[in-house]
Amino acid sequence: MDRMQQLARDVRKLEDQLAVCTRCGMCQANCPLFAQTRKEADVSRGKLVLLNGLIDQMFDDAKGVNERLQRCLLCGSCAHGCPSNVNAVEIFLKARAIITQYLGLSFSKKIIFKKILSNPETFNGIMGMAALFQKFFFKKEQNLQGTSCARIASPLLRHRHIVSLKETAFNRTLEGQDLRIEGKGVKVAFFVGCLIDKAFPKIAHSVVDVLKYFNAQVFIPFNQGCCGIPAIASGDVETFETLVKTHVDLFSRGKFDYLVTACATCSSTIIKLWPALLKHLDKKLLRQIEALARKTVDISWLMEKRFDLSAVISDGEREKNIITYHDPCHLKKSLGVFNEPRQVILASGNELKEMADSDTCCGMGGSFNFAHYDISSQIGLKKAKNIIDTGCSTVATSCPACMMQISDMLAKLQQPVLVRHPVEIFAETLLANSKALDL
């Protein structure tokens, strides 16, 4: 019981943040999980009540409370629509960390986070090997999404259409190169992110192509790793802190005006979570983290705000594709970026057609998708049907995790719709125009 009392004292550190919630229930209207399950414990208000119960020592089952806290997409929909401005995502992450310190990490998570993810060089090496051997476990499907399915009837994989790892990750193409691409324009550092690096390297190459086209000075540190969101979402503060320190060191070696990402989750993590969850670090390091957070922007924001997109030469003979756009939760709801990617799509010379509920969660939620695939799929299939109803040939979104989820859902429905990032679409226009000028 002494340990439970200590847990209650630790959770009490969140009491001021918990007290902001007035139990109005607005989170019910915005929570994609509650829309599926209709369970009060799945909505933010219910989870906050559980945390208050821990403080008051009404429960002696910390594991049960943690399981409820883990049933969350961390999409921020509740916070986005909260009239009291309760920062539920930050509260849940802090609470997960406190309870994980009490319960400990599982053996598998200790290996994944502390032995692999926390060391980018090790992580990149292992993922490179996995990319080479994945063909023995997955078979390629014939669809526009380019997904694969499992060769064995694994309970975890049998219903999934998986975006495979690419044999050559973006970081592999940087070896032996001078990463300080010279230009006379804005100085930009590029945080690649692990999903883009390993599953969607074309997005990273598109970012570099666009930055070079607009004559930016580009700094890309080698041996980058994960932004840390998988670790902190599982309550592993130590690995999260290690990864943040690693990237602060890497990016402190260059001078730049902006730290750009093409991943909505990476942007939100760096801008919001790095400073908020590491206030216990020494002041010098915290100032460095805060400085990086202030400089961090999404690639579409940078393109729309700092570059003249209208200067791109349009090939009038090229057929316009109908493109719809899915708003990633971490980009629109957390950072308020939603018009900029649409402007990038329009500047590429294509037609933009809005889907219904473009800013509702796609249901991915990182590790939530692995733990609760049935619910994740139910949410995702709704998104896929909204995409299909537009009659588009391509759906664009600014988050590689959303791209994976949407690819899975469209493949399930056997729909011939491409899934792309806005910067990919724009870079393809640059390439097409360049070829047209050469003719």
The string of pLDDT tens digits covering residues 158-190 is: 789 999 999 999 998 886 555 556 677 899 999
Report the number of distinct structural domains present in the chain.
2
Question: Is 157 inside any structural domain?
Answer: no
Domain membership of residue 238 (yes or no) is no
Per the domain annotation, does 138 fall within a domain? no
Q: What is the CATH number of the domain that holds 34?
A: 1.10.1060.10
Q: What CATH number is attached to the domain comprising 344? A: 3.40.50.1860
Where does a domain end: 84, 103, 122?
A: 103
For residue 43, being part of any structural domain is answered with yes
| 220 within some domain | no
pLDDT value of position 1: 54
Q: Which of 12-26, 177-191, 210-224, 394-408 has the lowest mean pLDDT?
A: 177-191
Four-point Cα dihedral 131, 134, 140, 145, nearest 10? -50
Name the residue with higher pLDDT: 200 or 434: 200
pLDDT at 310: 86
Predicted confidence (pLDDT) per residue in 32-51, tens digit = 999 999 999 899 999 999 99
The domain in which residue 327 lies consists of 312-438
* pLDDT score, position 2: 80
Mean pLDDT, residues 210-230 taken together: 94
**Average of per-residue pLDDT values in the chain:** 92
Residue 124 domain-assigned (yes or no): no
Task: Give the per-residue pLDDT at 174.
Answer: 80
pLDDT at 144: 92
CB neighbours of 11 closer than 8 A, spacing ≥ 6?
51, 54, 55, 95, 98, 99
> Which of 61-65, 127-131, 261-265, 359-363 has the least mean pLDDT?
61-65
Residue 105's region, left for phi above 0, alpha for psi from -120 to 50, else beta, is beta
Residue 274 pLDDT > 80 = yes
What's this model's pTM, rounded to 2 decimal places?
0.95
For 239, how many CA atoms within 13 A lie in the half-sphere containing its CB? Answer: 29
Q: Is residue 98 part of a domain?
A: yes
The last residue of a domain, from among 69, 103, 137: 103
**Domain C-terminal end among 87, 103, 119:** 103
More confident of the two residues 254 and 386: 386
Within a domain: residue 288? no
